[in-house]
A and B are shown apart, each in its own frame.
Chain A
Amino acid sequence: MSLVLFYGFVGLALTSALIVVTTRNIVHAAFALMVTLFSVAAFYVFLDADFLAVIQLLVYVGGILVLVLFGVMMTSGSLLVKLRAPVRQLAPAAAIGVVLLGLLLHVSIGESPWDQFVLVENPDGSAAAAIQGSASERPSLASLATASVRPRLSIAYASTRAQGEGPADRLLEQEVATALIGAGIQRMYVVQSRPDTLNPTRHVVLVEKRVTSLVDDHAEADISDEELASVREAVAGRPVDGFAPAEVSRPEMLLVTGADEKARVALIGDLGLREVTDVRTVVGLGDSVMLGEFLLPFEVVGALLLVALIGAAVVSRKELEA
């Protein structure tokens, strides 16, 4: 469903962008540009960047486009004649465009190191072999689980800054769990690593829930006390550097949430696993990030916008005096 929606927006974006480029009527071009910008906002939603999508709509569609329309209005002396936007250098531009497009598509579609997504492999390399074996398919949770040699233990790491307690985190767990269940993996434990309140240099690892319980949301009913206790004994309460998963009752996969970089490296290093890459990062850009970590860039952006506005006012004021 979302894929259909995505392709719908792709069609919308590319068609309208083509109209922006080809139409001779510049007002039509401006309105087509609006559709393109709207579609890009939709893409941001697909990328979990909701805040950015709103910014896109406000600033681009609400601001820039209106400016452009005013510009068109003020610079077209007699409406009917000057609305035409003539073109030049069609052939060389087309040649350059085709070459550039070929290059970009080659980079986008060809073998790329960045498109593999989920997992951490087993030390004996069986998972890696299985993944590389199915080259047509991107490495994913599903392809790993359906591989003939299933890894004994893998870690899927979810980087979240919210210490594993926000709604986004919960959503992430659910998503991963659903994928795993669909792939036939039943036993995955969600492990949380967070700084020890008494000794911040150490990280406590807490075992939370089993994957099956994540989906139907009956956490306590689904996992027996002994099972939880045995996993907890092996994992929880210990600092990360003492984490020995071999003693755990053989979970097939651990989902680590809330771990910071150092803790994650320690976990993975201790397990002898090699990290391929993140699971997914579902973190939105919201108030807390804006006014916390990225305060300075945010301020700089604001100052820049102010300077530009004053500059624009000055430029158009001079024209009145002259």
Chain B
Amino acid sequence: MITLSHFMVVSALLFVFGMFAVLTRRNAIAILMGIELILNSANLNFVAFSRYVVGGVAGQMIAVFVIVLAAAEAAVALAIILDIYQKLGTISPDETRELKG
């Protein structure tokens, strides 16, 4: 029988992987991929809790929200990344420090 714990463990692992990518990568697009992993793990928890504990579809509705947010975020972030690349010739977050005082 598949229990809530199964999903929670998978979600925890995905979250940690995503966070690891965000912390270690020096490529803005790779960091974006890490963020997508984190959002997916959160989504999985929302849906799993909605299915096993709360009941109803509220959790799924939140998951739809998160998916759309992720899509919007990816679209805007990639546009910004392209812009930065045009201006600075790099997308490493360590080297783009134009706003540093």
Binding site for B on A (CB under 8 A): 2-3, 6, 10, 13-14, 17-18, 20-21, 26, 29-30, 33, 36-37, 40, 43-44, 46-49, 51-52, 55-56, 59-60, 63-64, 67-68, 70-72, 74-75, 77, 85-90, 92-94, 96-97, 100-101, 104-105, 107-109, 112, 114-115, 117, 138, 140, 159, 161, 277-278, 280-281, 283-285, 289, 294, 297-298, 301, 304-305, 307-309, 311-313, 315-316, 318-319, 322
Contact = CB atoms under 8 A, between A and B. Distances in A.
Contacts, number: 238
Contacts of A294: 57, 61
A10 B2 CA distance: 12
A116 to B, nearest CB: 10
A94 B82 contact: no
Given A75-B81, A315-B79, A115 B19 contact: no
Interface string B12-28: 11111111110111110
Chain A interface main SS type: helix
A75 B26 contact: no
B49 A114 contact: yes
A64 B20 contact: no
A175 B41 CA distance: 28
7 contacts: A20-B33, A60-B40, A74-B85, A85-B30, A104-B8, A108-B9, A312-B78
A105 B12 contact: yes
Contact of A90 (B24, B53, B57, B73): B24
A33 B4 contact: no
A14 B52 contact: no
A51 B21 CA distance: 29
A46 B2 contact: yes
Contacts of B1: 3, 140
Contacts of A311: 75-76, 79
Contacts of A51: 60
A109 B80 contact: no
Interface residues of B, number: 72
Nearest to A106: B12
B44 to A, nearest CB: 6
A44 B47 contact: yes
Scoring A307, A313, A315, A322 by chain B CB atoms within 10 A of each residue's CB, the highest score goes to A315
Given A114-B49, A159-B56, A319 B40 contact: no
A14 B52 CA distance: 23
A30 B65 CA distance: 23
A52 B60 CA distance: 7
A107 B83 CA distance: 42
A174 B6 CA distance: 24
Contacts of B92: 86
B40 A36 contact: yes
B83 to A, nearest CB: 5
Nearest to B30: A85
A216 B85 CA distance: 65
Contact of A64 (B55, B71, B89): B71
B76 A308 contact: yes
